[in-house]
Amino acid sequence: MTAGAGGALSLRVTFQPEWDLDAAGGTRRGFFASDPRVRTLLRVLLSYPEVRYVVPDRISLDGGASPALLETLARFLDRQSWLVKKVGVS
């Protein structure tokens, strides 16, 4: 696990094809999809104080986020198999 620019860490998410950012003419926007399940998931992610921001395919966390938190978030996202195909830490 390495910190990115400014010590920030990121979780990069690859979505299932039906939720992919480029699928369906751009109407599915990853974490910004209008589906209520995705909006709830986004609210849960943003409830963590270490989360700096979320973009459609990535979650940025403070550089001081613990490895345990990164693992917890990665596992949580992996369990959302209806939405997420793969999670990577960078």
Report the domain count for the chain. Answer: 1
- The pTM of the full predicted model, rounded to 2 decimals, is 0.81
In the block, which residue shows the tokens 């400014």? 6
4: pLDDT confidence band, cut at 50, 70 and 90? very low
The three-class DSSP label of residue 61 is strand
Distances (CA, A) of 86 to 6, 49, 56, 74, 83: 25, 23, 14, 9, 10
| Predicted local confidence at residue 90, as pLDDT | 85
Q: What is the pLDDT of residues 46-83, one digit of tens each?
A: 999 999 999 999 999 999 999 999 999 999 999 999 99
Range of the domain at 35: 5-89
First to last CA, the chain: 6
18: pLDDT confidence band, cut at 50, 70 and 90? confident
